[in-house]
Chains A and B, each alone.
Chain A
Amino acid sequence: MSSDIAWLSAAELADAYRSRKLSPVEVVRSLIQRMEKYDGIVNSFITLDSEAALETAKLAEYEIFHGRQRGNLHGIPVGLKDNIDVAGLPTTCHSKILLNNLPRRDAHVVSGLRAAGAVILGKQSLHEFAFGGPSPELPFPHAKHPWNTEYHPGGSSSGSGVALASGFTPLSIGTDAGGSIRNPAGSCGLVGLKPTYDLLSRRGVFPVSPSVEHVGPMARTVRDIAVTLDELIQIDRRLPETSSPLDLKLPELEQGVKGFRIGFVRNFHEEDMIADPQLISALNEVARTLEREGAIVRDVRLPRVQEFAAVHRVILLSEAWNVHAPWLRTRPGDYTTPTRRKVMAGAFLTAGNLVQACRSRDALIGSVDAAFGEVDVLLTASALDPVCRIADQAELLRTYARHARSPFNLTGHPALAMMSGRATNGLPLSVQFVGRRMGEATLLRTARAYERATQWMSTNPKPFNA
């Protein structure tokens, strides 16, 4: 039973609690035992808070079994990227700089999860400050791909993706300033959503670059992404300062894409940065699948992906320099080499460069908004290359900047990445769907229609199961 529990979705667990086929304590205990046995192989968690998780699970069990189920996340285990504050647990950002950082307050998203009755399992590994990459200089070992530990699981929410793909948790919360939710989601055969900018509060999240950074859910199914976002929005709606007008229309999630107008952005991966042929082929097949499901797919042209990327990086690096300058001056040796180099680039950007980038950003937002005048959802590449080997530094560096995710950090449109096939190395290929701002309902419905039509993720390997 324990291996079955590992692969149940959050929605399936909530149903099992309602029918008393499973209890939150049984589930949490089973997942903790699984992590204690196997996480040393893939390094997905930095801090596992077993004791508190079991206490929360006991309370959830009592409430649910006494007819007081709070909602779809009650008693559901969730892991958090270790740049999200949980009162009393270290927020290290996977860096020597913050080894002694002990927050006193929960991040806003953590308060929401607690109000929904979710069980916080602990803090997950990441790229240092959501910036760097795998490095032997890190204070904790970097995460590894659970399908094949020689491969990179994507980042920067690496541990969040690895934990899901290892059957350690049905839900993770990550952050995404340049693709950090969508990259590991696509690389590990999962679903990751960067919601509309500011839809989920960043309070209590260590900042990378506040104007392009987003908090969002990662899961193994589209439904779990929808349910998690819905629960967090519902809780926020009770607070006047965070009231959201968004309605995810969950009852319509299964209603398909018939008549939806899908804009296929080919220029990103066919002209601007030519993608690996396996990805091009997979993206074409995504378009054909959606057409078979009744969507109307047409080509849409956006500005060159390099323009988005340059504007994004000038803003991101300027803001990151502002955060890190004091430590770069006093503790530069406590950063890993990749992070030190990336963060320091912001020192060489001027106020004039930032103003120019912000002006360009407005124009790029206008171009994406104009595209949404003609279509309901955009279909684009996420990664432009298959998942690479983690020890291959040259390939890591080459592929690091080759993706089509940062355009939508810049514009604030919601963007979801998910699996679109398998490469010849056996690891997942990915696709990205993008919605109008606050258009998550249509975006999730499209992703669900694709998930249902392809069944890619239901055939994924189940690591550590004999």
Chain B
Amino acid sequence: MSGLEIDPLHWAASLGLAEIVRRFPDDAIAAYRDARRDLDDLPDEQPPELPSAPADQPKK
């Protein structure tokens, strides 16, 4: 699994895909690489800024 940051087979097994891991491990690895490639191409849209917490809570 050199070059991969996580083990896709372990990830797949944790999602209940044990049969795929056993019978079609190449498919699982190919699917993982496809997903990573899409994420690499995803535009870097920033999340909206959260409102900052007020410095002093109003007294009740």
Interface residue ranges, A against B (CB under 8 Å): 303, 306-307, 309-311, 313-314, 317, 325, 328-330, 332-333, 337, 340-342, 344-349, 353, 356-357, 359-360, 363-364
Contact = CB atoms under 8 A, between A and B. Distances in A.
Contact of A345 (B15, B34, B43): B34
B12 A329 contact: no
Contacts of B11: 347-348
Contacts of A332: 17, 19-20, 23-24
Interface of B, secondary structure class, is: helix
A360 B38 contact: no
A359 B24 CA distance: 34
Contacts of B20: 328, 332, 340, 344
The 6 closest A-B pairs by CB, nearest first: A310-B41, A344-B31, A348-B35, A345-B31, A345-B34, A345-B35
Given A332-B17, A345-B32, A359-B47, A310 B8 contact: no
A259 to B, nearest CB: 35
Interface in B11-60: 11-12, 15-17, 19-20, 23-24, 27-28, 30-32, 34-36, 38-43, 45, 47
A249 B16 CA distance: 53
Interface residues of B, number: 26
Contacts of A348: 8, 11, 31-32, 35-36
Contacts of B47: 359
A309 B35 contact: no
Given A329-B16, A333-B23, A344-B28, A310 B38 contact: yes
Contacts of A314: 38-39, 42
A314 B15 CA distance: 18
A344 B26 CA distance: 12
A332 B20 CA distance: 6
A358 to B, nearest CB: 9
Contacts of B45: 356, 359-360, 363
A329 B39 contact: no
22 contacts: A303-B43, A307-B43, A310-B43, A311-B42, A325-B16, A328-B17, A328-B20, A329-B17, A329-B19, A330-B19, A332-B23, A332-B24, A337-B27, A341-B27, A344-B20, A345-B34, A347-B12, A347-B31, A347-B35, A360-B42, A360-B43, A363-B43
